[in-house]
Amino acid sequence: MTAKNTFNISEERRRILLVEDDLVGQESMKATLEDRYEVLIAETGEEALEIIRKQRETLSIVLLDLLLPGISGIDVLGRIKKDPEYSRLPVIVMTSDNEAEVECLTLGAVDFIPKPYPASKVIRARIRRTIELYEDRETLRLTEKDQLTGLYNREFFYHYVAQLDLYHQGTPADAIVFDINHFHTYNDRYGRKRGDEILKCIADKAMSYVNESGGIVCRSGADTFMMYCKHNDDHKALLTRLSACLNDGTDGDNPVRLRMGIYANVDKTTDIERRFDCAKMAADSVRDRLTAPIGFFDNSMREAEILREQLIDDFKTAIREKQFVVFYQPKFDIRKDVPVLSSAEALVRWYHPKLGLVSPAAFIPLFENNGLIEELDHYVWAQTASQIKDWKERINISLPVSVNVSRINLYDPELTDRLLNITKENGIKTENLLLEITESAYTDKTDQIITTVKDLRKHGFIIEMDDFGCGYSSMSMLIDMPIDALKLDIQFIRSAFKEQKDTRLLDAMIKLAASFEVPTIAEGVETAEQYAELKALGCNVIQGYYFSRPLPADEFEKLMIESPKKEDK
């Protein structure tokens, strides 16, 4: 019967390099070891160094006689330990010269086998124990180090930071995070090999810095590094030093740039991981900033993060308790002499039981980033539809109201059914629930978005493109886009009516919309001058503080009753 073939690393035959020119010594050592190990022989120092150069990855240990022809054993040991490629290879020195022990230990020998040789079991025990210690150390090294750069990985980095704190409690320290802006595009452009070279260069310069000034550094992500070092006010010099090799061999018109976030003079009572979260927050605050790529963590960032965490934690309760309240800002059709109330936009406000009124600027971008905006949209749609129904039943006014449809909802295969159910449950027409979709949403998976919007229009929903002209528009997009109105980005209004008034771009946008036979809506209109100019340019609908701020439902109801409006549908 054939024995089962198993692979067990502990049963592999390790390879030993025996450096010994005495034939009797060679045979004696081979007899002791070759039943358990594969033994390679070198009779000179030159032969030994050549074997190590070619086979260092497979060698487990070197047994080195000090008395060799040519290069001495001491010189061989010195060369092994000075070369970073071989320095971790364990060397046991074989000698009868007891006085050589100190020099050999200083150079890096791990043990001695005296001559004449002791009992075979003693030699085997020393070799086995040395190999075990070496392999354990190598396993630890490979675990704690990033293989590309040789820097510590995150877990071991935090461990060693704690050690630095323990022995240097009174020394001010900085927690620093730095990375390369848009590194993935750099890899795509110049290749992975060049990207790896850049990372290794940055790692070398970071190591050089902490070796000089004190500290520790790690690679914590693809192109992200963390450094813990003595406090230093000249962080610009550090960034310059780390960036020195970034653009060798790249396109000078598109330089690669580092950004850096610093939590200076850290509070050492703060959790270590938390310190670097703060530094990362500071780095994120200067994302894509070319002239000032260094960010500093301060208390305002901490307070903002605490607020964000609280808002996320409180979101479910807020939905359940209806803390989110829908306000309505009127839109007026200005094509006739007397402006006519034509519709409104639903805008959400959060009345937090502890924080009071929370600005949408604080929670809308936050929920867009973490996906909670999908549920908030659903809530606003339902509340708005219910309010449209209430006004129709109580005061016999059926006024269209626009609601925002976030990008994440456009990928929902049940979007159309969800909106149809909301209108059906409230007994309102689909054209009464206007759908605002930001222009930028059309640029991501355009075909899928257009298919979804066409389906919504097929069921009677009216689509308004919000933030039109904010940077993504093109003629080709407009040709394919299924829309019913263009809502001009508020920045157009603000820019056109600055101190040096220039409405040419505004005029062009309105004419562009007219050429596609869709009405234009201008938001953010605040003054009589803006109103008059937009009317003269041919804008169709206006929304903004010139007419009214966003109003709670009861106040908006009064405005509806008092204002001229289009015929009810």
Gap between the Cα atoms of 101 and 108, Å rounded: 11
The architecture that CATH gives domain 154-297 is 2-Layer Sandwich (3.30)
* pLDDT tens-digit readout, 228-250: 999 998 889 999 898 887 765 54
| Start-end of H helices in 413-468 | 415-426, 446-458
pLDDT confidence of residue 198: 87
* Residue 422: pLDDT over 90: yes
Percent above pLDDT 90 for the chain: 50
pLDDT, greater one: 247 or 404? 404
Beta strands in 439-517 (DSSP E): 463-468, 485-488
pLDDT confidence of residue 11: 39
Contact in structure between 518 and 528 (CB atoms under 8 Å): no
* Residue 352: pLDDT over 90: yes
Task: For residue 19, list its beta bridge partners.
Answer: 42, 64
- The pair of structure tokens assigned to 145 is 């180090």
Q: How many CB atoms lie within 10 A of CB 336?
A: 8
- Kind and range of the H or E run holding 45: helix 45-55
Phi–psi pair at 237, nearest 5 degrees: -65, -40
- The pair of structure tokens assigned to 376 is 């908030």
pLDDT confidence of residue 266: 93
Beta strand pairing call for 324-333 and 340-352: antiparallel
pLDDT confidence of residue 509: 86
* Residue 290: pLDDT over 70: no
Averaged pLDDT of the chain = 87
Question: 535-568 burial by CB neighbour count: b if 16+ within 10 A, else e?
Answer: bebebbbbbbebbbebbebeebbebbeebebeee
Question: 230-239 burial by CB neighbour count: b if 16+ within 10 A, else e?
Answer: eebeebeebb
Phi–psi pair at 180, nearest 5 degrees: -100, 130
Q: Tell me if the domain spanning 323-562 has CATH number 3.20.20.450.
A: yes
Contact in structure between 332 and 542 (CB atoms under 8 Å): yes
Gap between the Cα atoms of 65 and 111, Å rounded: 12
The mean pLDDT of 557-564, rounded to a whole number, is 91
CATH 3.20.20.450 residue ranges in the chain?
323-562
pLDDT confidence of residue 477: 63
Task: For residue 216, list its beta bridge partners.
Answer: 228
Q: Among 230, 254, 231, 256, which Cα is nearest to 242's?
A: 256
Gap between the Cα atoms of 17 and 31, Å rounded: 14
Angle, helices 373-395/360-370, rounded to nearest 10 degrees: 120
- Kind and range of the H or E run holding 100: helix 100-107
Beta strand pairing call for 224-230 and 215-219: antiparallel
Task: For residue 111, list its beta bridge partners.
Answer: 92
Gap between the Cα atoms of 163 and 150, Å rounded: 20
* pLDDT tens-digit readout, 31-59: 999 888 999 999 999 999 999 999 888 89
* pLDDT tens-digit readout, 9-22: 343 578 999 999 99
Of the listed ranges 136-145, 272-281, 416-425, 514-523, the one predicted with least confidence: 136-145
pLDDT band at 193 (very low <50, low <70, confident <90, very high): confident
pLDDT confidence of residue 445: 61
* Residue 569: pLDDT over 60: no
* Residue 122: pLDDT over 80: yes
* Residue 433: pLDDT over 80: yes
CATH 3.40.50.2300 residue ranges in the chain?
10-144
* pLDDT tens-digit readout, 525-538: 999 999 999 999 99
* pLDDT tens-digit readout, 501-518: 888 888 888 998 888 899
- The pair of structure tokens assigned to 45 is 């120092």
pTM score, whole prediction? 0.63
pLDDT confidence of residue 470: 59
The mean pLDDT of 369-397, rounded to a whole number, is 95
The single-letter code of the amino acid at 188 is D
The mean pLDDT of 485-494, rounded to a whole number, is 85
CATH 3.30.70.270 residue ranges in the chain?
154-297
Q: Which long-range contacts (CB under 8 A, 24 or more apart) does 392-397 make?
A: 392/427, 392/428, 395/557, 395/560, 395/561, 396/568, 397/560, 397/561, 397/565, 397/568
pLDDT confidence of residue 354: 93
pLDDT band at 2 (very low <50, low <70, confident <90, very high): very low
* Residue 368: pLDDT over 50: yes
**DSSP category for residue 568:** P
Give yes or no for a cis peptide into 116 (omega within 30° of 0): yes
| Burial classification of residue 44, based on how many CB atoms lie within 10 Å of its CB (0-12 exposed, 13-18 middle, 19 or more buried) | middle
pLDDT confidence of residue 186: 72
Q: Which CATH number among 3.40.50.2300, 3.50.50.60, 3.60.15.10, 2.40.50.100 corresponds to the domain 10-144?
A: 3.40.50.2300
The single-letter code of the amino acid at 535 is K
Residues with Cβ within 8 Å of residue 514, at least 6 apart in sequence? 520, 538
- Kind and range of the H or E run holding 528: helix 528-537
- The pair of structure tokens assigned to 442 is 């059309």
- The pair of structure tokens assigned to 528 is 């009589």
| DSSP per position, 323-391 | -EEEEEEEEEE-SSSS-EEEEEEEEEEEEETTTEEEPHHHHHHHHHHHSTHHHHHHHHHHHHHHHHHHH
The mean pLDDT of 154-165, rounded to a whole number, is 88
pLDDT confidence of residue 390: 96
Gap between the Cα atoms of 201 and 207, Å rounded: 10
Gap between the Cα atoms of 557 and 393, Å rounded: 13
pLDDT confidence of residue 248: 58
Angle, helices 373-395/415-426, rounded to nearest 10 degrees: 30
